[in-house]
Structure 1
């Protein structure tokens, strides 16, 4: 697939083909390799007689011979590309066109400055020139043609099931033949694909394919660049013996695969593991500026950030929800910066993700991925080739995601027009793209705009339900205890009094706020385990090993080993080991004598500080607590001095109980009441719920909720038995009156956004008194939460959004006044759940 230099051929076509091949092989557990070839000064080394015909001179090949030290007996092989007929004429051009090309390329000259002499140009072309692209494309096409012939003859080609009826269609019939895609080429960048059922067979194919490719380039006087980061191969080995073979092949910091090239005997191929700063670059000047409006920031975000962030996203397939969520969190953080206008971004952390994105006019990641996929679908249809679509059907997952995106496209257009075309029909979409490619672009952009409006409405609706849910909980409503909890165990930060969903959330807080480190990080030094001599790709791999290898971990603990923790995930200097291809290996040699006896891990280790403070309280503070309540408060303050997980708190309580009984057994000359208090406290510490005792919430939450995410689901399950709405005497007069449907309302909701006194329910509660009636009317407001129809523009739904926000304020205002001992008459105010 030579697509470089052709009109309308984006580079994503080549990347998509390579990505589809990789994923198909990974799904089938087949060994695969991708050979990336980089040519040194490709355009400047073009030998012109190879293009327009004619004989070669030794001068043309002198550079190649000097660079690689070619043996004299192999020089004659470099003349194989010499020909009498032009490559352009062999491709189908007329004799006149071929002669014109020869006239352009022969006897060319150039002058420099005021120099009176002429310089004759005998080789090379000028990069960026249209003629240069044409010349190089023809030469490289001839090279690739010979490479494919060699691959077919030696059995190196990839064979994929194929049927011509599958072109731009779903797979509906059985395979009738096979297709053999060999390469994906963009100008002078070449990627060759290889696969085999066994790891040994793949390496043999990789050596042969590399030799063929390099030698054909040398014959055309093009010199491959074998330096690190240039001509390299991505290799993935699967199957029996793959791990053992990987340990042999991927040794060293820069693993090399020796080649058996007759033209280039000393050549070797480097093996690599892999081949976003746009927002940070413009953040201070543009996106965090208070003088740039949100609408202008949204336009700049689309042109500067989305074009970089989602580059090539249309080729992605097999994304997991966790991948989308991770990408979404980064987009939300950028949106917070756009909305901060110089203020602290922490103030925006209490809003939902959808509200932040809607306020910044940024579509969600799911919407952006649908849009990018549909845009790329157009390129795959207009520039369809058998090789590309054979790979797409072989991978299969991308075609399924495109079908989902077509369904998304149809649903978005139905929101603005009831008789929209059947975009979800595959054949209809393909036919529309072929006949009206520009109209397809407008169709996709229109769907993106409609999706942004839909997300804005849904964000406002979720905010309404979330704020109402929060108000109900604040007034005393609670969730029933029989609902299944999201997590089985909760943790608490004793210092901050914050309750967390699980141990992972607590650990993150303890690291960020109090500097706690995973204890195995102080046992992991470098990348080699000191006990079993196993080598890992990075220090993180060693930490994972010590986390699960109990014998090695306990041996280091018994030895008293302690080191400085290395940089971890999140640091700019963190080494993830992704560039190291060598799997975990074990060094050979004598082992030290280690004590492998079971040791106490950190999560079960009592706190020395708490034990020391409890001992000081027992021994030196006799009589300082006047009663049992004061003693418990003192005990609680001791446990609140350190951030520990529940397992360590329980271990500390058990250790203190043992020490207390041991002390009393040896010496009973203590104050009787003081001893009884300590024994009673020791028994209580064995049974107490530390989350309930040390958390500021006062009790362990039976269900940890997210206000905006879970409000719609959990509101119907709320128990309002704890909400007290007192009875009040009959009112004497009206205190405040508001009617949304009045011709001249008391105030407008848009004004309330800037003037908080317009709808200050707290002030009403203080000023109205018990003898006045507050009348709230929602007559004239939108009585449905369904999406407005049709969705055309922001202006078309602005009135409905205003009514939704007003209804939200009225509902929560009425509920607040009811619980504030006021008589409130509400007309047409419905609580939706």
Structure 2
């Protein structure tokens, strides 16, 4: 709703209403009419503190507008409902005395849900303020239940989206063309709703997490509207309800509704963090005895992890639109973090697994698969049971349509050849028919798609392991893991890959706070005079404005006592006198260290180092401070001592360990580039024969002068089992069996039946192991040849690496590939 209003340039708000003991407070006579009991209505409603006008309206509703008779329910239905709600009682926990009750429906039963839904719905329809109809969002919709409807025109009919009701939770969307009128519209709609619910004994719970509103003013006048609502009124709107007088409605920036966190700007960051937090809590509850217990097989732990942790994480994410780059990184890294904990990699200390290897070891779906499956499942529910209002909104939600296109592309890449569906935006009628009339088959196809991607992941994981066994990484290896690092803790002797990692360590163990945090007092920047909504916003301002921060660090102004009050997150910034009087920003230094160094007279290098190590600050800042101080010294022993300290002031010389994870380890793991080294021919002893699977090619044996050598046939399984070290022989030749389903791309097979993919993966797995064995044999100085009935482009990137190796040195290792036409190509290295 907020996305649609923003796209149309409308100011919008969502009013969330929480009812107090909704099921217990229902006055049954409003459902069934009078005569349910012999007690007067005033006595039944005495505990509800209804005013005289509300009691009079309640009596009128019971006499003339009872819900079930008004809905023309059958006599049998009314009698059954009456019987269920007569002579009711309950027992308090730990007590044996029965207590009679004359109010409320029977909580926990399906009849209670039905009756309360009927009552709640009819009560909302009785709102009297017809002048507020303009606040109801009206969405253009031509009546087609499709996300990919043609563009709307002026003649397109509209669909009103009035109330979103689930059990006793109510959300009222409102829109307003003028931003300055948004607060008045929200107040009027809320007051009308409260006045309507009061005679039905439905009481409203007030509070930021109970009954509140999320508003998003946009367009001309929005800044003034934000200043009024979040500055002057401090995030509260007055509600003038006739039944209760004036009350205050909290205007919140975020609200948790039905398990989702809704932000005023439509961002999903808070919702992603919330769901990941719930998943971590679910994982932590069973970590010790279940998920991290090595006595339980990993496959069983993964199954329980999927049902207990992933189900908590994925509840409702099918309605997410396409995630932005930051939100996707947050979600993906959170999922992989849980997978790593399940695998227990922290204890092993090994982090350089690729994403495919992690997924193959755990047997769990990738984050992409999790999102796409949930979106497609939600789409199937929407097609079968979604109301028209949702379809009208989906047709206007471009980000969600992009997410559906991504999900359908993922789906068709796996099973497109078996389901006969085209792209979802071009073949929607067939998609809709399939989802509507074959729900069971749809669930099976989704499971097949998930299994297809699981097999593809295992195939890529095998490839990642094989190529890293056959070749070394092109990334230059340092003599020590501390080489090239610039961040470290001098107190603990630990090096870090980034300032963020060091900052977390220093804050946790040494009480470190950066300069922006130290000088962010209150909400006003006393360097430029700007007032921010919260202290966190002020801190962000100081982090981004070096001129203001350095002015405050140098004591350029007398800062008054900070304002301890907190503002609203949506309050606009009130600009002050500006930065024209501020000096230009200089490179960051540690002023406390600089003062300590200036006080030194005739100090040795050890005394200088002790002074530097006393201060907790980023190591580059300490080096820069020491360098600036040294540059201002005259030639002499003190300057020489400072230069000596600068020479050793780096993690490589002062740190004995590395903490955390390198920034480029995962990047390097997922983007492997091999070092192609020249191979040397070693003359073997005359005893070893030529190992072969199949008949060695005459051209190959003559090239390497192997005609006189004996040939010993070997099994492919033996070669595959020796893939990590190769074989000792005079030479090795393998005429590998043809692919089971023709020449297909090695790592990206086309969509098709799952059985065909499994056969292709099994063949590829053995091929990669045999190739690795032959390559390791070639590194020992023995000629090796692999004959394949596979196209050159289908054996990428190995074929390219072999071709590049052939340009480096003479022929040592051959791969002969036969194309479908019968021609052959020999590439050597």
Q: TM-score, normalised by structure 2?
A: 0.72
1:546: which partner in 2? 542
2:588: which partner in 1? 602
Residue deviations 1:725-764 (CA, integer Å, cap 9, x gap): 4455x43325697667787549747866xxxxx8446xx8
1:451: which partner in 2? 453
Would the aligned equivalents of 2:719 and 2:770 in 1 still touch at CA under 8 Å? no
2:355: which partner in 1? 353
2:698: which partner in 1? none
Would the aligned equivalents of 2:351 and 2:665 in 1 still touch at CA under 8 Å? no
1:178: which partner in 2? 158
Would the aligned equivalents of 1:314 and 1:373 in 2 still touch at CA under 8 Å? yes
CA shift, 1:182, in A, is 0.8
Distance 1:31 1:336 in 2: 44
Question: Of the candidates 170, 175, 194, which is equivalent to residue 190 of structure 1?
Answer: 170
Would the aligned equivalents of 1:740 and 1:781 in 2 still touch at CA under 8 Å? no
Question: Of the candidates 363, 366, 373, which is equivalent to residue 365 of structure 2?
Answer: 363
1:14: which partner in 2? none
Question: Of the candidates 91, 101, 113, which is equivalent to residue 133 of structure 1?
Answer: 113
1:408: which partner in 2? 410
2:271: which partner in 1? none
Deviates more, 1:451-460 or 1:84-93: 84-93
Question: Of the candidates 325, 328, 346, which is equivalent to residue 324 of structure 1?
Answer: 328
1:50: which partner in 2? 30
> What is the DSSP-based 3-state SS (H/G/I as helix, E as strand, rest coil) of the residue aligned with 1:194?
strand
- 1:48–1:751 Cα change, 3 Å: same
Question: Of the candidates 651, 654, 667, which is equivalent to residue 706 of structure 1?
Answer: 667
CA shift, 1:373, in A, is 0.5
* 1:492 and 2:485 matched: yes
Distance 2:550 2:302 in 1: 55
* 1:165 and 2:154 matched: no
1:507: which partner in 2? 499
1:3: which partner in 2? none
Distance 1:137 1:24 in 2: 28
| Structural mapping, 1:194-593, within 5 Å | 194-250=174-230, 255-274=235-254, 275=256, 276=278, 277-340=281-344, 344-345=346-347, 347-414=349-416, 420-422=420-422, 424=424, 425-465=427-467, 468=470, 470-471=472-473, 492-493=485-486, 506-512=498-504, 518-525=514-521, 527-529=523-525, 531=527, 535-559=531-555, 580-581=568-569, 583=571
Distance 1:612 1:826 in 2: 71
Would the aligned equivalents of 2:736 and 2:787 in 1 still touch at CA under 8 Å? yes
Residue deviations 1:271-315 (CA, integer Å, cap 9, x gap): 222221212222222121112222212211221111111111110
CA shift, 1:442, in A, is 1.7
1:15: which partner in 2? none
Question: Of the candidates 19, 31, 41, which is equivalent to residue 60 of structure 1?
Answer: 41
Distance 1:707 1:198 in 2: 52
CA shift, 1:80, in A, is 4.2
Question: Of the candidates 792, 807, 814, which is equivalent to residue 755 of structure 2?
Answer: 792
1:809: which partner in 2? 772
Would the aligned equivalents of 1:532 and 1:552 in 2 still touch at CA under 8 Å? yes
Distance 1:249 1:173 in 2: 34
Distance 2:443 2:111 in 1: 31
Distance 2:45 2:235 in 1: 26
Would the aligned equivalents of 1:605 and 1:652 in 2 still touch at CA under 8 Å? no
Residue deviations 1:126-157 (CA, integer Å, cap 9, x gap): 1112222222122112112223x645665331
CA shift, 1:193, in A, is 0.5
CA shift, 1:440, in A, is 1.5
CA shift, 1:163, in A, is 1.1
1:566: which partner in 2? none
Deviates more, 1:264-273 or 1:182-191: 264-273
> What is the DSSP-based 3-state SS (H/G/I as helix, E as strand, rest coil) of the residue aligned with 2:245?
coil
Distance 1:52 1:828 in 2: 84
2:684: which partner in 1? 731
CA shift, 1:207, in A, is 0.7
> What is the DSSP-based 3-state SS (H/G/I as helix, E as strand, rest coil) of the residue aligned with 1:164?
coil
Distance 1:475 1:601 in 2: 32
> What is the DSSP-based 3-state SS (H/G/I as helix, E as strand, rest coil) of the residue aligned with 2:321?
coil
Would the aligned equivalents of 1:50 and 1:87 in 2 still touch at CA under 8 Å? yes
Deviates more, 1:546-555 or 1:215-224: 546-555
Q: TM-score, normalised by structure 1?
A: 0.72
Question: Of the candidates 59, 69, 81, which is equivalent to residue 101 of structure 1?
Answer: 81
CA shift, 1:367, in A, is 1.0
Would the aligned equivalents of 1:453 and 1:793 in 2 still touch at CA under 8 Å? no
| Structural mapping, 1:27-38, within 5 Å | 27-38=7-18
Residue deviations 1:189-208 (CA, integer Å, cap 9, x gap): 11110111232211111111
* Unpaired segments ≥5 residues, structure 1: 1-20, 477-489, 498-503, 564-576, 622-634, 665-669, 697-702, 753-757
Would the aligned equivalents of 1:552 and 1:596 in 2 still touch at CA under 8 Å? yes
Would the aligned equivalents of 2:20 and 2:204 in 1 still touch at CA under 8 Å? yes
> What is the DSSP-based 3-state SS (H/G/I as helix, E as strand, rest coil) of the residue aligned with 1:292?
coil
Would the aligned equivalents of 1:39 and 1:223 in 2 still touch at CA under 8 Å? yes
- 1:826–1:85 Cα change, 3 Å: same
Would the aligned equivalents of 1:55 and 1:83 in 2 still touch at CA under 8 Å? no
1:9: which partner in 2? none
Distance 1:496 1:587 in 2: 39
Distance 1:548 1:376 in 2: 42
Residue deviations 1:334-363 (CA, integer Å, cap 9, x gap): 2122222xx634533111122101210111
Question: Of the candidates 635, 639, 653, which is equivalent to residue 663 of structure 1?
Answer: 635
- 1:751–1:448 Cα change, 3 Å: same
- 1:155–1:173 Cα change, 3 Å: closer
- 1:439–1:469 Cα change, 3 Å: same
CA shift, 1:811, in A, is 5.7
- 1:64–1:30 Cα change, 3 Å: farther
Residue deviations 1:754-782 (CA, integer Å, cap 9, x gap): xxxx8446xx8xxx7xxx84647574497
Residue deviations 1:41-97 (CA, integer Å, cap 9, x gap): 111122222112238999535676765563x45643344423346523432433443
Distance 2:329 2:305 in 1: 20
Distance 1:305 1:47 in 2: 41
Would the aligned equivalents of 1:606 and 1:651 in 2 still touch at CA under 8 Å? no
CA shift, 1:807, in A, is 3.9
CA shift, 1:804, in A, is 4.7
Would the aligned equivalents of 2:147 and 2:401 in 1 still touch at CA under 8 Å? no
Would the aligned equivalents of 1:143 and 1:217 in 2 still touch at CA under 8 Å? yes
CA shift, 1:801, in A, is 5.4
> What is the DSSP-based 3-state SS (H/G/I as helix, E as strand, rest coil) of the residue aligned with 1:806?
helix
1:155: which partner in 2? 134
> What is the DSSP-based 3-state SS (H/G/I as helix, E as strand, rest coil) of the residue aligned with 1:245?
helix
2:126: which partner in 1? 146
Deviates more, 1:268-277 or 1:213-222: 268-277
Would the aligned equivalents of 1:495 and 1:642 in 2 still touch at CA under 8 Å? no
Distance 1:614 1:53 in 2: 92
Distance 1:319 1:74 in 2: 48
